[in-house]
C-alpha cells in the first residue's frame, strides 16, 4: 500500500555501497524528520509495566497432567499431517513482495483464507544467540488473528515454520481454567472474562518465552516448554474443528493438534491519557528483539494520526527469558522515543540501524495507479542523539506487518497479511506471503 513519490532510483552498486537494498527508492524525508524532532518528548513512565493476570497454577498444572507435552523440536520436525509450504515464490509475485530477497508461501488454504490474518513475525534468530533451536534447526514463527464477523478477534494461533523442510504447523493459543465441575479446560486467548479478543499484532521469541502483543491490554506471555499435543494425548482429539477445551472427557483445539496456554502477562503500571500521545498509555502494536549489547524486547505503536512511540525493555532476567524487574516488581524501559513516520506495522533495530514496515493511507497521493489498496513501504532509518533520521523508503508488498531480524542471513522478515485474491477494479492480484529482505546491518 504505497504511493508513487518523486523519488530517485539509486543504481544497484551505489545502493549496496550505502547499505540500502538495490530496489529502494531514496528520499530525504525532511518533513518526517522535522515532525519527529518537533514532537513532544514521550514519557518513560507511561511505558512502565507490571505483572498482569495469568491463569491459575492449578489450571496450568491440570493441562500438564491431562495432556501430552511436546517440545518445540518435535513440533518443528513432526511431518505427520504437517502443512506443506513452498519457496517457489508464486504467492510472492501476487503479493508484490520485493524480488531481491527470500520468501515462504503457505499452502493454498492458508494463502486464501479470510478467517485468519497473519500479523507477528519472529524466529530462532531472536530466540537463541546462535540462531538455531537445537535439532529443530532454524525456524520462523507467525501469529494470526481470527477474523470473526462480529468484529472481535476471538482467538489467535501461532505458526511454526521449518525453513529447511518447507513445512509448518499451527498451534492455537489458549487460556486454561477450572470449569464449574473443577475440571481443567481452556478457551481461546482473548475470550476470558471481560476480554474482547486479541489482534496478536506482534510476536517475539526469546529463550523459552514467546511474547505476543495485545494492543491495548499489554503483552501476553507463553512458554515454549508448555506446548500440548492433542494428537498424542489419550484424551485429546484433532477432530471437530468447532470445539475447543474439554467436552465430555475429551480435549479439543479447533481441529489443531497443538495448543499453547498463556502463562503470564505484562500490563501498564498505570493507565492515563490516550495511546499515540506523549504521556498516554501506549498501544503495544508490534514487537521485536534487539540482541546487540544487552538484549532488549522492543515494543512499538501503530498510529495513524501521529508517528507513535517505540520503547525498549531489558530482557533476560537472572539468565532467564523474562523482562528485568526492579525491586518494586516493575519493568522499566531503557528508552522511549518518537517514531519517524506514521502507520508503522513493524520495526526492528540493532546498533542504531532500524527498519520499519508501514501501511500507506489512501490520503497519501498519488495512489499506485489502478489499485484498490496502496502497497506498503519498507523504511530504513538511523537512530542517534535521541531521534531517528529516515535514510530510505522502498515499495514492498501489500499489507506488510511485524518485522524480525534474521541475523544469520542478514535479512529482516515480514508477512503480507491480505488473502490472495484478484482485485476487481483492475484484475491485478494481491496476496499473502512470508518474506525476507536484505539488510546487511542485521547481524
- Pick the closest to residue 348 from 384, 303, 304, 312 (CA basis): 312
Total residues found in the chain within this entry: 443
Please compute the mean of the pLDDT values over residues 231-241 and round it to a whole number: 96
Please compute the mean of the pLDDT values over residues 326-353 and round it to a whole number: 97
Please compute the mean of the pLDDT values over residues 340-361 and round it to a whole number: 95
Please compute the mean of the pLDDT values over residues 210-237 and round it to a whole number: 97
Q: Provide, rounded to the nearest whole percent, the portion of the chain with pLDDT above 70.
A: 88
Inform me whether the pLDDT recorded for 15 exceeds 50: no
d(CA 103, CA 295): 27
What pLDDT, on a 0 to 100 scale, did the predictor assign at position 76?
94
Confidence band for 19, pLDDT divided at 50, 70 and 90: very low
What pLDDT, on a 0 to 100 scale, did the predictor assign at position 34?
38
What pLDDT, on a 0 to 100 scale, did the predictor assign at position 143?
98
Inform me whether the pLDDT recorded for 33 exceeds 50: no
- E strands within 14-76? 25-26, 49-51, 68-70
Condensed to tens digits (0 to 9), the pLDDT of residues 247-273 reads: 999 999 999 999 999 999 999 999 999
What pLDDT, on a 0 to 100 scale, did the predictor assign at position 39?
61
Inform me whether the pLDDT recorded for 309 exceeds 50: yes
Q: Provide, rounded to the nearest whole percent, the portion of the chain with pLDDT above 90.
A: 74
Domain ranges of the chain: 8-438
Please compute the mean of the pLDDT values over residues 344-359 and round it to a whole number: 96
Confidence band for 16, pLDDT divided at 50, 70 and 90: very low
What pLDDT, on a 0 to 100 scale, did the predictor assign at position 81?
82
Please compute the mean of the pLDDT values over residues 282-291 and round it to a whole number: 97
What pLDDT, on a 0 to 100 scale, did the predictor assign at position 98?
92
Inform me whether the pLDDT recorded for 154 exceeds 90: no
What pLDDT, on a 0 to 100 scale, did the predictor assign at position 424?
67
Condensed to tens digits (0 to 9), the pLDDT of residues 424-433 reads: 667 778 899 9
Condensed to tens digits (0 to 9), the pLDDT of residues 405-421 reads: 999 899 999 999 999 98
d(CA 2, CA 86): 27
Please compute the mean of the pLDDT values over residues 323-345 and round it to a whole number: 97
Query: Cell numbers 514519557 label which residue?
Result: 43
Per the prediction, the chain carries an average pLDDT of 88
Please compute the mean of the pLDDT values over residues 63-84 and round it to a whole number: 94
Inform me whether the pLDDT recorded for 330 exceeds 70: yes
- Structure-model confidence comparison of residues 90 and 11, the more confident one: 90
Lowest mean pLDDT among 26-30, 31-35, 233-237, 323-327: 26-30
What pLDDT, on a 0 to 100 scale, did the predictor assign at position 28?
36
d(CA 33, CA 387): 9
Inform me whether the pLDDT recorded for 51 exceeds 90: yes
At 316, list the grid cell.
533476560
Please compute the mean of the pLDDT values over residues 172-184 and round it to a whole number: 97
DSSP β-bridge partners for residue 228: 69, 259
d(CA 70, CA 68): 7
CA–centroid distance for 291 within its chain: 17
Specify whether the CB–CB gap between 392 and 407 falls below 8 A.
Answer: no
Note the maximum CA span of the chain: 69
Inform me whether the pLDDT recorded for 162 exceeds 50: yes
What pLDDT, on a 0 to 100 scale, did the predictor assign at position 11?
32
Question: Coil, strand, or helix at residue 47?
Answer: helix
DSSP 367: B
Amino acid at each position: 500500500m504505497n504511493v508513487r513519490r518523486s523519488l530517485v532510483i539509486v543504481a544497484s552498486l551505489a545502493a549496496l555501497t550505502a547499505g540500502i537494498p538495490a530496489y529502494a527508492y531514496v528520499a530525504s524525508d525532511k518533513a518526517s524528520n522535522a515532525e519527529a524532532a518537533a514532537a513532544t518528548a514521550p514519557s518513560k513512565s507511561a511505558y512502565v509495566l507490571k505483572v498482569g493476570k495469568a491463569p491459575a497454577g492449578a489450571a496450568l498444572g491440570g493441562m500438564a497432567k491431562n495432556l501430552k507435552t511436546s517440545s518445540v523440536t518435535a513440533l518443528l520436525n513432526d511431518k505427520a499431517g504437517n502443512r506443506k509450504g513452498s519457496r517457489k515464490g508464486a504467492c510472492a509475485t501476487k503479493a508484490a513482495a520485493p524480488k531481491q530477497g527470500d520468501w515462504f508461501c503457505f499452502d493454498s488454504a492458508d494463502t486464501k483464507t479470510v478467517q485468519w490474518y497473519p500479523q507477528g513475525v519472529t524466529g530462532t534468530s531472536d530466540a537463541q544467540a546462535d540462531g538455531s533451536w537445537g535439532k529443530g534447526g532454524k525456524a520462523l514463527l507467525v501469529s494470526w488473528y481470527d477474523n470473526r464477523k462480529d468484529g472481535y478477534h476471538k482467538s489467535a494461533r501461532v505458526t511454526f515454520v521449518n525453513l529447511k523442510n518447507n513445512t509448518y504447523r499451527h498451534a492455537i493459543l489458549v487460556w486454561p481454567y477450572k470449569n464449574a465441575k473443577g475440571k481443567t479446560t481452556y478457551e481461546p486467548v482473548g475470550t476470558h472474562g471481560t476480554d474482547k479478543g486479541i489482534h496478536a499484532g506482534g510476536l517475539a521469541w526469546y529463550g523459552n518465552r514467546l511474547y505476543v502483543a495485545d494492543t491495548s491490554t499489554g503483552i501476553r506471555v507463553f512458554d515454549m516448554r508448555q506446548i500440548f499435543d492433542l494428537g498424542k494425548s489419550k484424551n485429546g482429539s484433532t477432530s471437530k474443528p468447532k470445539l475447543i477445551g474439554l467436552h465430555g472427557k475429551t480435549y479439543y483445539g479447533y481441529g489443531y493438534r497443538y495448543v499453547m496456554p498463556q502463562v503470564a502477562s505484562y500490563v501498564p503500571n498505570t493507565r492515563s491519557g490516550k495511546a499515540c500521545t506523549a504521556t498516554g498509555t501506549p498501544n503495544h502494536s508490534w514487537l521485536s528483539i534487539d540482541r546487540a549489547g544487552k538484549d532488549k524486547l522492543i515494543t512499538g505503536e501503530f498510529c495513524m494520526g501521529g508517528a507513535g512511540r517505540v520503547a525498549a525493555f531489558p530482557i533476560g532476567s537472572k539468565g532467564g527469558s523474562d523482562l528485568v524487574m526492579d525491586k518494586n516488581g516493575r519493568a522499566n524501559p531503557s528508552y522511549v522515543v518518537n517514531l519517524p513516520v506514521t502507520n508503522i506495522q513493524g520495526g526492528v533495530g540493532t546498533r542504531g540501524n532500524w527498519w520499519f514496515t508501514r501501511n500507506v493511507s489512501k490520503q497519501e497521493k498519488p495512489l499506485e495507479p489502478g489499485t484498490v489498496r496502496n502497497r506498503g513501504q519498507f523504511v530504513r532509518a538511523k537512530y542517534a542523539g535521541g531521534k531517528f533520521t529516515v535514510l530510505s523508503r522502498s515499495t514492498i508488498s501489500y499489507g506488510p506487518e511485524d518485522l524480525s531480524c534474521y541475523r544469520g542471513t542478514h535479512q529482516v522478515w515480514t508477512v503480507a497479511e491480505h488473502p490472495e485474491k484478484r482485485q476487481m477494479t483492475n484484475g491485478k492480484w494481491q496476496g499473502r506471503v512470508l518474506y525476507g529482505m536484505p539488510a546487511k546491518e542485521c547481524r
